């Protein structure tokens, strides 16, 4: 007699056999890592990284590499692309630099595309295809919001032939008003080999992620090299999620655990991952406890920082992690790493006609000057006047000379309803100074059909981008600083344009319809009614 448990054993054996055969066949390499960093104000930063390296994408042989992304990448002749969804703003002054550059609020997309006669068409098709994959409004990135920066957004991939740099062009677009929700996270998770069923990705709970102070989700596709000689390159898709939780808000303590942050625990490692680590940045103070203890501890020689590493491939049971603090250390800075460069941008002026933009660039390095690349994309309905550009250092205006901070300036004039303004500058920030850039503009009158449905709310102006070039010395340095380019984003601004009274057309239509209805009703009644004389005598007889 056939017993049910034998069927279960047979199905389990077949699954293990298929995974073994598939793992032996595939040449793709999947790695997943979770970096946890306690922040000075009691919050906790969690940074997920999922990477797949593949050398068979050009042959249309997809193993672990997601086919939907690979086909889009090849069909529209992309060299590399970077897509980021962000809600909230990273607090550079309180949290230091993020582990990976996070874009401004909304959606940001930039890509290097191969030069051909269909480049602009490929860019439009790329935005529409990604909009369908991630359930986002990327199709609204059209020529009115697309720019070609000259100094910023350098290629981040590794290329064997240096001539390739001259055979591609950059396209950049952003939607600062785009909201990020579960509709974007669900297709993002489906790109992972284990989805959200096993491994570190099983912690990604949308209810917890979107209840955080800050969250950023990104997809990067670019060529990489495995060896220093770089004899042959591979295509990498890197998916990241950065989230800042606030356990103090929920419990009044800075103690945290994986279950408290995500409402989940890791039940098992992803069987397709060759590397699955949880890295905990250990504070300098010793008044804390961790359960369980790290499997190994890594130390960065340059900064003397220590990192506890948990290898999930060696964990045979459900993995749980907990960190407890003494209340006496709640007020102390446990990670005293302050950024050298950060910025604040805001509008100036008043009224509905004129205004200005001012950005304060801070260099807190006490000894060294820092070169940055500043990029600001301004919508066409804010008409800039370059002759009003002023530069001050610590309140003193500088117009020329060797001490003038702007070493190189690029400006693209806006065209109404066709393209935005672009202002890029190579700026040298003197040591321990505040450099201020200010420029004036006029507000354009736009058609009433060009206003959004919530016209009285205003228009969103995307973040400015500050790029500083610095390379990390080791794998662990990238946790504290950046690997190649430090992308620093300013605030997303909200501006009010001259707005018509949208209730007036409604009032006019209502009044006109009322008058016409009364007039038409009266005239129609008079023209169609039949008048008959009333004979009172005959009526009495009847």
Task: Show the tokens assigned to 28.
Answer: 């793709």
Name, in order, each residue with C-beta under 8 angstroms of 122's C-beta and a sequence gap of 6 or more. 76, 77, 78, 113, 116
CA 78 to chain centre: 20
Indicate the fold that domain 341-495 takes in CATH.
Immunoglobulin-like (2.60.40)
pLDDT at 23 over 50: no
Paired strand residues for 113 = 78, 169
Please state whether the peptide bond connecting residue 64 to the residue before it is cis, i.e. omega within 30 degrees of 0.
no
The CA distance from 52 to 188, in Å, is 14
What is the percent of the chain with per-residue pLDDT over 90, rounded to a whole number? 41
The CA distance from 70 to 82, in Å, is 14
Task: Show the tokens assigned to 283.
Answer: 């504070």
Q: What is the mean pLDDT of the chain?
A: 83
pLDDT band of residue 17 (cuts 50, 70, 90) is very low
The pLDDT tens digits for 496-526 are: 988 888 777 778 888 889 988 888 888 888 8
The CA distance from 479 to 485, in Å, is 13
Determine contact, residues 480/337, Cβ cutoff 8 Å.
yes
Determine contact, residues 147/111, Cβ cutoff 8 Å.
no
pLDDT band of residue 484 (cuts 50, 70, 90) is very low
**For residue 233, with 0-12 CB atoms within 10 Å meaning exposed, 13-18 middle and 19 or more buried, which class applies?**
middle
Q: Where are the domains of the chain?
A: 30-329, 341-495
Which pLDDT belongs to residue 330?
A: 56
Task: Show the tokens assigned to 224.
Answer: 């990489």
pTM: 0.84
Which pLDDT belongs to residue 14?
A: 52
Helix ranges, 30-141 (H): 67-75, 92-95, 119-134
The CA distance from 392 to 439, in Å, is 12
The pLDDT tens digits for 398-408 are: 888 888 899 99
The pLDDT tens digits for 314-333 are: 876 788 899 998 765 555 55
């Amino acid at each position: 007699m056939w017993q049910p448990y034998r069927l279960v054993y047979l199905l389990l054996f077949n699954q293990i056999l298929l995974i073994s055969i598939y793992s032996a066949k595939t040449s793709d390499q999947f790695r997943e890592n979770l970096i946890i960093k306690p922040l000075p104000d009691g919050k906790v930063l969690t940074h997920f990284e999922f990477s797949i390296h593949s050398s068979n994408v050009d042959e249309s042989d997809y193993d672990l590499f997601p086919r939907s992304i690979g086909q889009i990448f090849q069909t529209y002749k992309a060299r590399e692309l970077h897509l980021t969804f962000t809600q909230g703003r990273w607090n550079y002054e309180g949290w230091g630099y993020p582990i990976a550059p996070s874009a401004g609020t909304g959606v940001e997309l930039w890509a290097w595309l191969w030069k051909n006669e269909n480049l602009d068409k490929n860019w439009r098709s790329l935005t529409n295809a990604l909009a369908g994959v991630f359930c986002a409004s990327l199709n609204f990135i059209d020529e009115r919001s697309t720019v070609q920066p000259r100094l910023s957004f350098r290629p981040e991939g590794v290329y064997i032939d240096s001539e390739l740099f001259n055979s591609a062009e950059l396209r950049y677009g952003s939607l600062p008003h785009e909201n990020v929700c579960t509709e974007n996270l669900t297709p993002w998770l489906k790109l992972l080999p284990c989805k959200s069923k096993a491994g570190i990705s099983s912690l990604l709970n949308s209810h917890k992620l979107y209840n955080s102070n800050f969250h950023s989700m990104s997809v990067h596709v670019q060529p990489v090299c495995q060896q220093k000689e770089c004899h042959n390159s591979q295509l990498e898709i890197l998916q990241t999620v950065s989230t800042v939780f606030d356990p103090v808000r929920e419990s009044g303590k800075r103690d945290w655990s994986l279950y408290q942050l995500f409402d989940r625990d890791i039940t098992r490692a992803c069987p397709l991952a060759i590397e699955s680590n949880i890295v905990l940045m250990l504070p300098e103070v010793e008044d804390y406890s961790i359960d369980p203890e790290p499997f190994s501890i890594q130390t960065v020689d340059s900064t003397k920082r220590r990192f506890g590493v948990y290898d999930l491939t060696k964990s045979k049971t459900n993995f749980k992690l907990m960190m407890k603090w003494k209340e006496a250390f709640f007020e102390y800075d446990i990670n005293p790493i302050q950024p050298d460069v950060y910025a604040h941008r805001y509008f100036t002026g008043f009224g509905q006609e004129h205004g200005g933009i001012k950005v304060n660039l801070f260099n807190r390095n006490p000894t060294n000057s820092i070169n940055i690349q500043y990029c600001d994309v301004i919508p066409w309905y804010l008409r800039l006047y370059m002759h009003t550009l002023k530069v001050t250092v610590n309140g003193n205006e500088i117009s020329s000379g060797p001490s003038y901070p702007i070493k190189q300036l690029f400006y693209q004039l806006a065209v109404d309803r066709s393209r935005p303004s672009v202002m890029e500058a190579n700026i040298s920030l003197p040591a321990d100074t505040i450099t201020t850039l200010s420029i004036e503009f006029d507000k354009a009158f736009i058609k009433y059909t060009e206003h959004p449905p919530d016209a009285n709310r205003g228009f969103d102006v995307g973040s400015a981008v500050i790029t500083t070039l610095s390379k990390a010395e080791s794998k662990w340095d990238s946790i504290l600083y950046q690997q190649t380019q430090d992308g620093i984003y300013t605030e997303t601004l909200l501006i009010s344009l001259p707005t018509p009274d949208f209730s007036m057309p409604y009032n006019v239509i209502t009044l006109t319809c009322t008058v016409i209805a009364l007039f038409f009703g009266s005239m129609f009644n008079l023209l169609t009614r039949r008048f008959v004389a009333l004979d009172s005598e005959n009526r009495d007889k009847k």
